[in-house]
Amino acid sequence: MKLLKFGGTSVGSPESIRQVAEIVKDYKRKNLEFAMVNSAMGGITNKIIDAAHRASNSDETYKEIFADIETRHIATIKELIIIESQSRVIAQTKILLNELEDLLYGVSLIKELSLRTLDLILSFGERMASYVISEFLNQEGVPAEFLDARKLILTDKTFGNAKVDFEETNYNIVEHFKNTDKLQVITGFVASTERGATTTLGRGGSDYTAAIFGAALNAESVEIWTDVDGVMTTDPRMVREAFSLPTMSYEEAMEMSHFGAKVIYPPTIQPLCSKNIPIYIKNTFNPTFEGTRISRDSEQREYLIKGISTIKDVALINLQGSGLIGVTGVSSRLFGALAKSDVNVILITQASSEHSISFAINPSDSEKAREALQKEFNEEIKARKIDPIQIEVNLSVLAIIGENMRHTPGISAKFFNALGKNGINVVAMAQGSSELNLSVVVPSKDLSKALNSVHDAFFLSNHKTVNLFVVGVGLIGGTLIDQIKKQADVLREKQLLNINVIGIARSTKMLFNESGINLETWEQDLDERGEAVDLDAFVMKMKVLNLSNSIFVDNTSSAEVIKYYMSILDASINITTPNKLASSGSYIQYDELKKLAFNHNVKYLYETNVGAGLPVLTTLSDLKNSGDEIISIEGVLSGTLSFIFNTYDGSVPFSQVVKDAKEKGFTEPDPRDDLNGMDVARKILILAREAGNVLELQDVEIDPILPQNCFDAPSIEEFFVELEKADGQMADKCQSAAQDGKVLRFIASFEDGKAKVSLQAVDMSNPFYSLSGSDNMISFRTSRYDERPLVIKGPGAGAEVTAAGVFAEIISISNKLA
């Protein structure tokens, strides 16, 4: 004999019920002996509860909900039952519906809803569903019989969560099954007291009904048929990467369900475990899949833990005060008082100082618990030995579970590392004495992020996912997305790294997709489906999504965007950017951003601020970290100015060289933005700061290359007129340099605390002499690299190399993630 239980999700619609019938027929064909237990149609129990509460509050809208329940059942019958039998089945169901309606009406008249009445009202969900299914199975050629479990399962009077009298119940079940030859279609969830009052076994209790029948009949197995592929590493609705577990032990299943895995109702396990009856969790919608076998043995696989469960909503009560220290019996009084008031404790922690005890409970029990404790510890509270009872809300529990935990060190380190790296604050933690679970209490707003990062850490330890929020998709940003798209498969396969672009913003529009924007069609999607851009909303959305391993990528050069950096780092989100404005803004801001990143354990990277993709800042930081001392820094730091002076040898007028450069797109739209030296000044400022100096932009001395008239010219055309006037002056400089065997280079330098930007004539011995094209070159003279400085040279501008630099930072951030 097997017991098959079909949950609300399996009997929620006519199509699902047909699917259930197929499974049943298949078992019949195989000549298997079995009985089945059904829940109410999915969602009906919640609707009945809602209707009953509204009725008790004299809220007439309960009638609409009732109408909804009625329509759903009648429609299901019409869909499933052939015309000839329809009126009979509808009439039978109508009798139940009328009774339900009368009860709701009664509740609305007396404006009171006891748990006892609610249980009776709730029973209609299971009774109607099982009746309709039994009729449908008969029609499909499976001789079936509706069985109201209230006739057999006897309980005490704890309405809403009744305790089973196993002796009576087992006897009744065994007796009943002696005289049946038809398939029994049993109502889940419901039972009755000795005197015939209807009770229920707790929410999700149909699983338990199946266990009660299974144990009584010494079944060979109990199969819980639901809508997922068995018990998974965690709730697949919360973690996309969750996967099915082939086996688990009763204890593991117990812990998983106790800590919130709804896939099986916790009390289900005990009666089956004590008789060593295996439980299979199977998927109605994927019946050939093996599912999960829960039994005494759990195959241990390569993973450190079995699964992760969560309880979304808990309250944490703290009992603290000097009166707790060293006093025996406090805990027993505490938990005695809670038990008397029927408050279920989910998790307990005690600080080793014994100064406080914290425990998590269902928030709906908060007031009951507060009253119970206030009463129990009244004297101590009055005498101020115990502080007034504090209750914290908006908290959730996350528990990792598995038998491997007993023997394996380092699991908690991994657990807390994953949480810490994502800026999740652990409010309390507890390890079950069985060492089968380790649980933490975290703010509810962080639950999804915590769950995903812990799941990644334990189950995809080799695999990592980073979530990007990209602002600015112009030349650099667009190229970056292109590079990510091209490299994505390689990274996934070779580096086991998934890069998801979750948000994209450009000057007009922004687009989000929590599961990752399609990088093939992002431009079109942004055009067609993007919302009007709003930076506030963009940043807010990023925080609210609260995804693990988030990186904000600022590809703009905008002062507006950097205003958000503080709050972004504060939300434990990493930043990478080629935007120089933050690191070359005020020193205080520069310093605070770095500290903020450090304190939140996230990265704030801006390597591309200097020398684009060249490893300039990382080299500098490596030098410093390895104890070297920076004596001086020199560099040609602007690709544009490098090109102009590498090209200019006096043979063509200087103004012509600038014009050519502009035409080739090597300069800013207004070439003065390059020629004024500001961009270079910002870069040497950043270098000086990274070398450990406190400096402001105005401390950088800029020797102007051109006469002031050039800069004052009101338009670009007039600027070129002025520039031509300066051609002679520039030619003189070039010639006198040439006479000494020198060339002109626009060099930024930092030495003895002074940063300078100037046009210099350098001879052949100088490394900048041989610079060509638009290359950048930076030379560090340090105590170790003294005679011959450390030189970095290469293309220091352009979308491809800058985007590649940002991309490299994204990968470097992901390498450091949990």
- Least distance from ligand ASP to the Cβ atom of residue 166, Å: 19
Q: Is 302 exposed, middle or buried (CB count within 10 Å of its CB: 0-12, 13-18, 19+)?
A: exposed
- Least distance from ligand ASP to the Cβ atom of residue 5, Å: 8
Of the pair 207, 252, the CB lying nearest ligand ASP is at: 207
Q: Does 204 participate in binding ligand ASP (rule CB under 6 A)?
A: yes
Stretch of 20-28, 194-202, 260-268, 496-504 contacting ligand ADP, by CB under 6 A? 260-268
Member of 7, 321, 323, 611 binding ligand ADP (CB under 6 A): 7
**Distance from C-alpha of 532 to C-alpha of 511, rounded to nearest angstrom:** 9
Binding mask 181-220 for ligand ADP (x = CB under 6 A): -----------------------x----------------
**Distance from C-alpha of 579 to C-alpha of 560, rounded to nearest angstrom:** 11
Closest CA to 806 of 412, 479, 546, 426: 479
DSSP-derived 3-state class of residue 671: coil
Structure tokens at 493: 């396969």
Contact partner at residue 748 from Mg ion, ligand ASP, ligand ADP, none, CB < 5 to 8 Å by partner kind: none
Member of 10, 16, 38, 45 binding ligand ASP (CB under 6 A): 45
**Subset of 273-332 contacting ligand ADP (CB under 6 A):** 307
Residue nearest to Mg ion (CB): 204
Q: Does 12 participate in binding ligand ASP (rule CB under 6 A)?
A: no
Contact partner at residue 40 from ligand ASP, Mg ion, ligand ADP, none, CB < 5 to 8 Å by partner kind: ligand ASP
Q: Which residues are part of the catalytic machinery?
A: 683
**Subset of 112-131 contacting ligand ASP (CB under 6 A):** 125
Q: Are 511 and 501 in contact (CB under 8 A)?
A: no
- Least distance from ligand ADP to the Cβ atom of residue 5, Å: 8
Count of residues that bind ligand ASP according to CB under 6 A: 13
Q: Which helix (H) or strand (E) holds 21?
A: helix 14-29
CA 709 to chain centre: 57
DSSP β-bridge partners for residue 398: 310, 440
Q: In what order do the strands lie in the sheet with 356-361?
A: 345-350, 356-361, 307-320, 390-401, 437-443, 428-431
Strands 497-505 and 509-512: antiparallel
**Distance from C-alpha of 660 to C-alpha of 705, rounded to nearest angstrom:** 18
Q: Is 787 exposed, middle or buried (CB count within 10 Å of its CB: 0-12, 13-18, 19+)?
A: exposed
Structure tokens at 629: 């001392």
Q: Does 232 participate in binding ligand ADP (rule CB under 6 A)?
A: yes
> 751 — phi, psi (to 5°)?
-155, 145
Q: How long a stretch of residues is the chain?
A: 818
Q: Does 227 participate in binding ligand ADP (rule CB under 6 A)?
A: yes
- Least distance from ligand ASP to the Cβ atom of residue 25, Å: 24
Q: Does 8 participate in binding ligand ASP (rule CB under 6 A)?
A: yes
Member of 133, 137, 228, 617 binding ligand ADP (CB under 6 A): 228
DSSP-derived 3-state class of residue 361: strand
**Distance from C-alpha of 547 to C-alpha of 516, rounded to nearest angstrom:** 12
Residues 6+ apart with CB under 8 A from 349: 357, 358, 359, 428, 429, 430
Member of 12, 14, 188, 267 binding ligand ASP (CB under 6 A): 188
**Subset of 686-715 contacting ligand ASP (CB under 6 A):** none
Helices 727-739 & 654-663 angle (0-180, nearest 10): 110
Member of 53, 203, 659, 756 binding ligand ASP (CB under 6 A): 203
Contact partner at residue 203 from ligand ADP, Mg ion, ligand ASP, none, CB < 5 to 8 Å by partner kind: ligand ASP
Stretch of 198-206, 212-220, 340-348, 643-651 contacting ligand ASP, by CB under 6 A? 198-206
Member of 9, 19, 184, 749 binding ligand ADP (CB under 6 A): 9
**Distance from C-alpha of 661 to C-alpha of 462, rounded to nearest angstrom:** 48
Q: Does 206 participate in binding ligand ASP (rule CB under 6 A)?
A: yes
Strands 34-38 and 2-6: parallel
Token pair 């100096």: residue: 693
- Least distance from ligand ASP to the Cβ atom of residue 155, Å: 15
- Least distance from ligand ADP to the Cβ atom of residue 208, Å: 11
* Site of interaction with Mg ion (CB under 5 A): 7, 204
Member of 2, 3, 10, 277 binding ligand ADP (CB under 6 A): 10
Contact partner at residue 232 from ligand ADP, ligand ASP, Mg ion, none, CB < 5 to 8 Å by partner kind: ligand ADP
Cα dihedral value 367, 371, 373, 377, nearest 10: 150
- Least distance from ligand ASP to the Cβ atom of residue 162, Å: 13
Helices 447-459 & 411-421 angle (0-180, nearest 10): 130
Q: Are 310 and 396 in contact (CB under 8 A)?
A: yes
- Least distance from ligand ADP to the Cβ atom of residue 224, Å: 7
> 170 — phi, psi (to 5°)?
-60, -40
| Residue 314 DSSP one-character state | E
- Least distance from ligand ASP to the Cβ atom of residue 326, Å: 45
Q: Does 212 participate in binding ligand ASP (rule CB under 6 A)?
A: no
Structure tokens at 117: 């009445």
Q: Are 226 and 240 in contact (CB under 8 A)?
A: no
Of the pair 210, 497, the CB lying nearest Mg ion is at: 210
> 336 — phi, psi (to 5°)?
-65, -45
The letter for the amino acid at 68 is D
Stretch of 197-205, 325-333, 536-544, 600-608 contacting ligand ASP, by CB under 6 A? 197-205
- Least distance from ligand ADP to the Cβ atom of residue 413, Å: 24
Stretch of 200-208, 353-361, 476-484, 557-565 contacting ligand ASP, by CB under 6 A? 200-208
Q: Does 503 participate in binding ligand ASP (rule CB under 6 A)?
A: no
> Which residues in this chain contact ligand ADP in the complex, by CB under 6 A?
7-10, 39, 42, 204, 226-228, 231-232, 234-237, 256, 261-263, 307
- Under the rule (CB under 6 A), what is the footprint of ligand ASP? 7-8, 39-40, 45, 125, 188-189, 203-207
